[in-house]
Amino acid sequence: MQSWHATPLPLFDVPSWTRVMGVFDLETTGIEVESDRIVTAHVGLLDAAGNVIRARDWLVDPGTEIPEGATAVHGITTEHAREHGSPARGAIGEIVDELRALLDAGIPVVAYNAPFDFSLLKHEANRHGVDPIHAPSPVIDPLVVDKALDRYRRGKRTLEVVAAHYAIRLDGAHEASADAVAAGRVAQAIAERYSTQLPSDLSVLHTQQISWARAQAVSLTEYFIKIGRIEPDDQVDGSWPIR
């Protein structure tokens, strides 16, 4: 397990937590957090200017077939993962260790749509006998923060769209390292644009995101019921940053 530390760079007018930020992303066999598996992962570290100063990537043999639809998204086939990927148990243990080291050091981990990545990782850890991260903190989720601070902006909120909105370059979308780094830079861009509206205290920001995510889920539930996508008794899960 690596030790994650970096010397903060001086910044003005933006929250101090932008000075050094962890980034995390998974590419998987699907979108079901309880049953789908990790195919690739990235954990890295950005400095105040968004430069990558630490990075680690994994290609994992998930132990199951990778559906064609998932391959179409991230480009990894079952055959490639079996031939070149690391055994799942060891890789997942390493991913958990890297993230735990960041969080224990008080470094925020940026994950776009954090409940997906952290929840799927938790279930993978349980599946393979690895001690999971039950309550990751501090976490920064640019999807939640962007929705809270620019609530009425029209259009999709995918990472590609939001990165373009904040003029962040994203090459190789749906590749774990590219997505992770772009998400971190989006978080820094949001912090710069809304510096007067964001707390300097990471614990306060983390708690705010819990409330924002819950409110956003309520709003989305109402919309889905209105358009007939879900039944009136159903609810969108607003748990954050892990389900």
**Reduced 3-state DSSP string for 119-176:** HHHHHHHHHCCCCCCCCCCCEECHHHHHHHHCCCCCCCCCHHHHHHHCCCCCCCCCCH
Count CB atoms within 10 A of the CB of residue 203.
Answer: 11
| Third-level CATH fold of 16-227 | Nucleotidyltransferase; domain 5 (3.30.420)
Q: Which residues are bridge partners to 24 per DSSP?
A: 43
Within the chain, which residues score under 70 in pLDDT?
1-12
Tokens representing residue 37 in the block: 């598996």
pLDDT computed for residue 5 by the predictor: 46
How does DSSP classify residue 47? -
Burial profile 222-241: b = 16 or more Cβ within 10 angstroms, e = fewer: eeebeeeeeeeeeebebebb
Cα separation, 100 vs 130, in Å, equals: 12
Q: SS3 for 60?
A: strand
User: Cβ(42)–Cβ(56) under 8 Å?
Assistant: yes
Q: How far is CA 159 from CA 24, 112, 163, 171, in A?
A: 13, 7, 6, 12
- For the chain, the structural domain boundaries read 16-227
pLDDT for residue 9:
41
The dihedral region occupied by 64, where left means phi > 0, alpha psi between -120 and 50, and beta the remainder, is beta
Angle between helices 142-149 and 176-193 (to 10 degrees): 30
CA dihedral 120, 217, 195, 50 (to 10 degrees): 20
- Compute how many other C-beta atoms are within 10 angstroms of the C-beta atom of residue 176: 26
Which 8-state DSSP code applies to residue 232?
Answer: T
Question: Per-residue pLDDT tens for 196-212?
Answer: 999 999 999 999 999 99
Q: For residue 89, what pLDDT is reported?
A: 97
The contacts of residue 147 (CB under 8 Å, 6+ apart) are 157, 212, 216
Distance CA(103)–CA(228), nearest Å, equals 40
* Whole-structure pTM value: 0.93
What's the confidence (pLDDT) of residue 240? 98
